Amino acid sequence: MTEQDRYQQVKKKAEERAKELFKPLPKEIEEELESESTLGNPENLVRPDNQEE
Amino acid sequence: MQASHIATISKYDKHRAEAREIAEASLPAHLKGVLNISGISHRELAAFKCWQVMPERKVDWNWLFSARYCTVYPKAFDMSVWRGNTLCSLSLGRPTYKGTEMRLDFIERLPKNCQYAGEMFTISLLAYEIYGELIGAKKLRIMEPLNDKLIKYYTSHGGFEFVDSKKGNPHYLVRNL
| B121: pLDDT strictly greater than 80 | yes
* Distance between B131 CA and the closest CA of chain A, angstroms: 9
Q: By the CB < 8 Å criterion, does A45 face chain B? A: yes
In percent, the amount of chain B with pLDDT more than 90 equals 84
Which pLDDT tens digit goes with each residue over B49-94?
999 999 999 899 999 998 889 889 999 999 999 999 999 999 999 9
| H helix intervals, B27-147 | 42-52, 66-72, 120-134
**Residue B147 pLDDT level (bands cut at 50, 70, 90):** confident
Chain B partners within 8 Å of A53 (Cβ) = 96-98, 100-101
- What's the average model confidence in pLDDT over A9-16? 97
Contact B40, B136 (CB under 8 A): no
Q: Which helix (H) or strand (E) holds B103?
A: strand B101-104
Contact criterion met (CB < 8 Å) for A50 and B61: no
Closest by CA position to B142, among listed B156, B130, B124: B124
- What's the average model confidence in pLDDT over B37-52? 97
Q: What are the residues facing B89 on neighbouring strands?
A: B81, B109
Q: By the CB < 8 Å criterion, does A4 face chain B? A: no
Rounded distance between C-alpha atoms, residue B139 and residue B161, angstroms: 11
- What's the average model confidence in pLDDT over B153-157? 87
Q: What is the pLDDT of residue B149?
A: 87
Q: What is the pLDDT of residue B156?
A: 85
Instruction: Please give the mean pLDDT across all residues of chain B.
Output: 94
Q: What is the pLDDT of residue B168?
A: 76
In chain B, where the domains are located = 3-145
Chain B partners within 8 Å of A13 (Cβ) = 133
Instruction: Please name the residues in contact with B143: beta carbons below 8 A apart, sequence gap of 6 or more.
Output: A40, A41, A44, B93, B103, B104, B105, B106, B170, B172
- What's the average model confidence in pLDDT over A5-32? 94
Q: What is the pLDDT of residue B40?
A: 97
Contact criterion met (CB < 8 Å) for A29 and B150: yes
Q: What is the pLDDT of residue B123?
A: 97
Mapping DSSP to helix (H, G, I), strand (E, B) and coil, where does residue B145 land? Answer: coil
**Residue B157 pLDDT level (bands cut at 50, 70, 90):** confident
**Residue B36 pLDDT level (bands cut at 50, 70, 90):** very high
Contact criterion met (CB < 8 Å) for A42 and B59: yes
| Class in CATH terms, B3-145 | alpha beta
Rounded distance between C-alpha atoms, residue A43 and residue A11, angstroms: 32
Q: What is the pLDDT of residue B1?
A: 82
Instruction: Please give the mean pLDDT across all residues of chain A.
Output: 92
In chain B, count of helices (H) and strands (E)? 5, 8
Handedness of CA B23, B153, B55, B69 (dihedral sign): negative
Handedness of CA A19, B139, B74, B121 (dihedral sign): positive
- Write the CA distances from A7 to B18, B36, B133, integer angstroms: 8, 20, 9
Query: 0.90 exceeded by the pTM?
Result: yes
Rounded distance between C-alpha atoms, residue B67 and residue B108, angstroms: 16
Mapping DSSP to helix (H, G, I), strand (E, B) and coil, where does residue B173 land? Answer: strand
In single-letter form, the type of residue at position B44 comes to E
